A and B are shown apart, each in its own frame.
Chain A
């Protein structure tokens, strides 16, 4: 069964802290994605990765960085958390092929920055 896991369902951090959100997939997918979801705004892409050690900026990369050292793991880093980064964070993965395939999502991490 397809599985994407995220390290925490709920996280509370203080302003200025460095925050790591981890995502692991067990489907040997090449592509991995980080989104944030806010009410009324849908899902917005932060960063994505096509392969190990590769990363591409999405629509809202400011204030975030990512790391992909292994194929199955994609980490989102908030270098210095701010209150406007309070949000739901969703990780997804997908395979590569002749067409664009559905993305499989993790359960999400609800981050609160105080």
Chain B
């Protein structure tokens, strides 16, 4: 069975500080993709970053980086230099290669950036 776990229902971070949002996953498929999405209060899901299971390097997109530890089955999102606009729900998702692009989502982490 495929499973995504986000153990932090809520997180707080001071503006300009870095924050790590945790995500662990479970799959028996050797090939899979890992994704992070941001959902502001407006409700729209915004794609942030992708990591392939065979990628050697950790993915980075601007202030976002994905700390991929394959042996531990973790895919933590690191946001550097937090901004007030980063306050949102963050969802981790996994897509095993043999599922036709089907995604499995975690329950999300609510991040609040404090001025």
Q: Do the beta carbons of A103 and B103 come within 8 Å of each other? A: yes
- Chain A residues 74 to 105 lying within 8 A of chain B, measured CB to CB, are 88, 90, 92, 94, 96, 99-105
Which residues of chain B come closer than 8 Å to A105, judged between CB atoms?
37, 44-45
Q: Select B100's contact among A31, A35, A40, A108, beta carbons within 8 Å.
A: A31
* Interface residue ranges of B30-68 to A (CB < 8 Å): 32-33, 35, 37, 42-45, 47, 50, 52
Residue among A48, A88, A100 with most chain B CB within 10 A: A100
- Closest A residue, CB atoms, query B55: A99
The size class of the interface chain A forms with chain B is: 20 to 34
**A61 interfacial by beta-carbon distance below 8 Å:** no
Complex Cα distance A48/B50, Å? 21
Number of A-B contacts (CB under 8 A): 60
User: Interface SS of chain A: helix, strand, loop or mixed?
Assistant: strand
Q: Which residue of A lies closest to B37 (CB)?
A: A105
Identify A43's interface contact among B33, B42, B91, CB under 8 A. B91
A42 with B44: CB separation less than 8 A: no
Given contacts A88-B43, A90-B45, contact A101 B107 (CB under 8 A): no
- Whether the Cβ atoms of A99 and B52 lie closer than 8 Å is yes
When distances are taken between beta carbons in the complex, the residues of chain B under 8 Å from A45 are 102-103
- Check if B101 is an interface residue, CB within 8 A of chain A: yes
CB distance from B72 to the nearest CB of A (A): 21
Chain B residues with Cβ under 8 A from A100's Cβ? 32-33, 95-97, 99, 101
A-contacting residues of B (Cβ < 8 Å)? 4, 9, 32-33, 35, 37, 42-45, 47, 50, 52, 91, 95-97, 99-103, 105-108
A selection of 13 A-B contacts at a CB cut-off of 8 Å is: A42-B4, A42-B91, A42-B106, A56-B100, A99-B52, A100-B99, A100-B101, A102-B50, A103-B35, A105-B37, A105-B45, A107-B43, A107-B44
A45-B103, A99-B52, A100-B101 are known contacts; what are 6 more A-B pairs with Cβ within 8 Å? A48-B102, A50-B100, A88-B43, A92-B45, A103-B35, A107-B43
